[in-house]
Amino acid sequence: MRCFISITLPAEIKRGMTAIQGSLRTSGADVSWTRPEGMHLTLKFLGEVEEKRVPKIEAALDSAANSIGAFSLSVSGMGTFPDIRRPRVIWIGLKEQGNNLIRLQRSVEEEFNKTGFSPEDREFTPHITLGRIRSQKNVEKLLSLIEKLRDVELDGFDASCVYLMQSQLRPTGAVYTERYSVELQG
């Protein structure tokens, strides 16, 4: 089964992101838009995992979250990966006062490395994927709208739990199922 570690988003944040997607859709660009139920902050993608490894994954998640307390995140800023000249992914950013998110993500990397999962090569950039660009159709219009919205801000929210999620790929899109959760109590 495909799995990842994440922080979920409250419904009101997802509604705000869906409204931003609506503004971007007016460009007519060829984008595969993230559905609201698929919006989340990925801390670590695990890939294919055998069921028998789940208890060790749960223990690693417990250990990673052990000393981290709940924290507040704000939704702020927008852009594309890998960059504006070669856009493939449209994202909206997350910011925190303090460093609990970065501490949590680093702790997840360390604990999962001990469990046999390779650390991520790229630096962690807290973001939510809004969509994936499929072709160059109307991409200039899309980039113009992204530029206008690049300083967008939505309400903040409290991150108080971390999840082990299972991802099932279907023709209609990925379906995510919570497998395990850990409260951030620090």
Q: 31, 34, 40, 162: which one is catalytic?
A: 40
Q: Kindly state the tokens that stand for 79.
A: 């852009």
Instruction: Name the residue among 95, 145, 147 with its Cα closest to residue 125.
Output: 95
Distance CA 22, CA 12 (A): 15
**Annotation says 132 is catalytic:** no
Q: 127, 130, 164, 165: which one is catalytic?
A: 127
The residue type found at 89 is: V
Q: Kindly state the tokens that stand for 63.
A: 């250990």
Q: How is the chain split among helix, strand and coil, in percent rounded to 5?
A: 30, 40, 30
Q: Say if residue 19 is exposed, middle or buried (CB neighbours under 10 Å; 0-12, 13-18, 19+).
A: exposed
**Annotation says 127 is catalytic:** yes
Positions marked catalytic = 40, 127
